C-alpha cells in the first residue's frame, strides 16, 4: 500500500471515529440553560434535549411562585419526553408569574407581553432544532395553565395543541382563536386554589376571577366546532380517594379533539406528579392518571401537517 493511500485511509478512519463520538453525544439527553432577550429584558429558560432528533417542541409553564426548573421537577416530563423525542423548554416567568390576562400577577401588573415572548422563544427553538411547523405545543400548571389557554386563544397559528392543568381563563379574557386547536385538560373538583366551578382565585399578586371548567370546555368546543355530546369513560380506581372521568369530544373541525379529565376529589396538583405541598393545603394528587405521559401522547397525535 502506498503511503498516500495509507494517509487517506487513516484520515477516513479519523472521520468515522469522530462521527461515532458525535453520535454518542447526540444520543445522551441534556439539560441546558439559556437567556433570550425580549421586550427590553433578558428572559431565562431551561431546555431539555431528548436523545434523538426532536419531533416536536413543548413549552411547559410553571405555576405562580414557581420556576422553570421547578416545573420540570413537578411534572417529571423529561423522562417521558426522552421516550418520545420531544424538545421541552421551561421558561421562567417575570416575578415567578405569567401575564395571563387576569390582571393580578406581577407580570400582568408590569404589562409584560408574555404571549409575544413565548411565541418568539418557541420560534427561535423551532428554527434552532428544525422543528416542523404544526408541532409546537404548550402545557402548564395553575398560572401556567391559564397562560397556556391564553396562548392558544391568541396564537392558534403557532400552537397546534395545548394541555392546561388546574387553570382556565380569567373572567373577561377574550378567546377568539384563528383556527381550531386540540385541547387536553385536567382539573380537580376540590381544587382549593382555582375553583372547579370558577370564582375567586387568591394567587400571586392578589385576587383574580376565573371562569369554570365547564365554561372553558364549552368555549373550546365552540371554537373547534365539535358536534354531539362528549363520550365518557371512568378510569380504573387507584384507591387514593380520587376518581377520574375522561370526557372526549372527537368529532371536531380540522381533526382536532378535546379531552378533559375531571378528577373527582382531586386538588391543585399535576396528575401523577409530586405531592409538592401537604394535602390539607392543595388537596390530593391522583395516581389514576399519568398527566405527563397522557399529554406527550396527545401532542404526538395532534400535530398539524
List, run by run, the mean pLDDT of 10-residue segments along the chain (305 residues). Answer: 38 34 55 97 98 97 97 98 98 98 97 98 97 97 98 98 98 96 98 98 92 98 96 97 97 97 98 96 98 98 96
pTM (predicted TM-score): 0.91
Q: What does the pLDDT read at residue 138?
A: 99
Q: What does the pLDDT read at residue 205?
A: 86
Q: What does the pLDDT read at residue 19?
A: 34
Answer whether 201's CB lies under 8 Å from 164's CB: no
Selection from 245, 262, 247 nearest residue 197 by Cα: 262
Q: What is the CA radius of gyration of the chain?
A: 21
Answer whether 112's CB lies under 8 Å from 39's CB: yes
Query: Which residues, 6+ apart, have CB-to-CB distance to 84 below 8 Å?
Result: 50, 55, 56, 296, 297, 300
Q: What does the pLDDT read at residue 204?
A: 83
| Cell numbers 462521527: residue | 19
Angle between helices 114-128 and 143-154 (to 10 degrees): 80
SS3 assignment for 4-16: HHHHHHHHHHHHH
Length of the chain equals 305
Answer whether 149's CB lies under 8 Å from 138's CB: no
C-alpha cell at 161: 395543541
Angle at 25 between CA 22 and CA 29, to 5 degrees: 150
30-300 fold: Rossmann fold (3.40.50)
Q: What does the pLDDT read at residue 247?
A: 98
Amino acid at each position: 500500500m502506498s503511503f498516500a493511500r495509507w494517509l487517506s485511509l487513516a484520515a477516513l478512519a479519523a472521520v468515522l471515529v469522530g462521527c461515532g463520538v458525535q453520535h454518542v453525544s447526540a444520543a445522551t439527553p441534556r439539560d441546558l440553560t439559556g437567556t433570550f432577550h425580549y421586550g427590553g429584558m433578558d428572559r431565562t429558560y431551561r431546555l431539555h434535549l431528548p436523545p434523538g432528533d426532536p419531533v416536536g417542541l413543548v413549552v411547559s409553564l410553571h405555576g405562580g411562585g414557581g420556576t422553570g426548573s421547578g416545573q420540570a421537577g413537578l411534572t417529571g416530563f423529561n423522562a417521558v419526553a426522552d421516550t418520545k423525542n420531544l424538545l421541552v423548554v421551561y421558561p421562567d416567568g417575570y416575578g415567578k408569574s405569567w401575564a395571563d390576562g387576569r390582571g393580578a400577577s406581577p407580570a400582568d401588573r408590569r404589562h409584560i407581553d408574555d404571549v409575544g415572548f413565548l411565541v418568539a422563544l418557541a420560534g427561535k427553538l423551532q428554527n434552532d432544532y428544525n422543528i416542523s411547523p404544526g408541532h409546537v405545543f404548550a402545557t402548564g400548571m395553575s398560572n401556567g395553565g391559564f397562560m397556556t389557554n391564553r396562548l392558544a386563544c391568541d396564537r392558534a397559528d403557532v400552537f397546534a395543541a395545548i394541555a392546561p392543568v388546574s387553570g382556565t381563563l380569567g373572567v373577561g379574557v377574550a378567546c377568539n382563536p384563528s383556527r381550531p386547536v386540540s385541547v387536553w385538560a385536567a382539573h380537580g373538583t376540590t381544587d382549593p386554589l382555582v375553583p372547579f366551578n370558577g370564582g375567586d382565585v387568591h394567587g400571586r399578586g392578589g385576587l383574580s376571577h376565573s371562569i369554570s371548567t365547564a365554561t372553558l370546555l364549552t368555549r373550546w368546543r365552540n371554537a373547534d366546532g365539535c358536534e354531539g355530546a362528549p363520550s365518557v369513560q371512568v378510569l380504573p380506581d387507584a384507591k387514593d380517594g380520587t376518581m377520574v372521568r375522561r370526557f372526549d369530544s372527537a368529532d371536531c373541525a380540522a381533526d382536532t379533539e378535546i379531552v378533559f379529565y375531571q378528577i373527582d376529589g382531586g386538588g391543585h396538583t399535576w396528575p401523577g406528579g409530586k405531592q409538592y405541598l401537604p394535602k390539607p393545603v392543595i388537596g390530593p394528587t391522583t395516581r389514576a392518571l399519568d398527566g405527563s405521559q397522557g399529554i406527550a401522547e396527545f401532542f404526538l397525535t395532534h400535530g398539524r401537517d
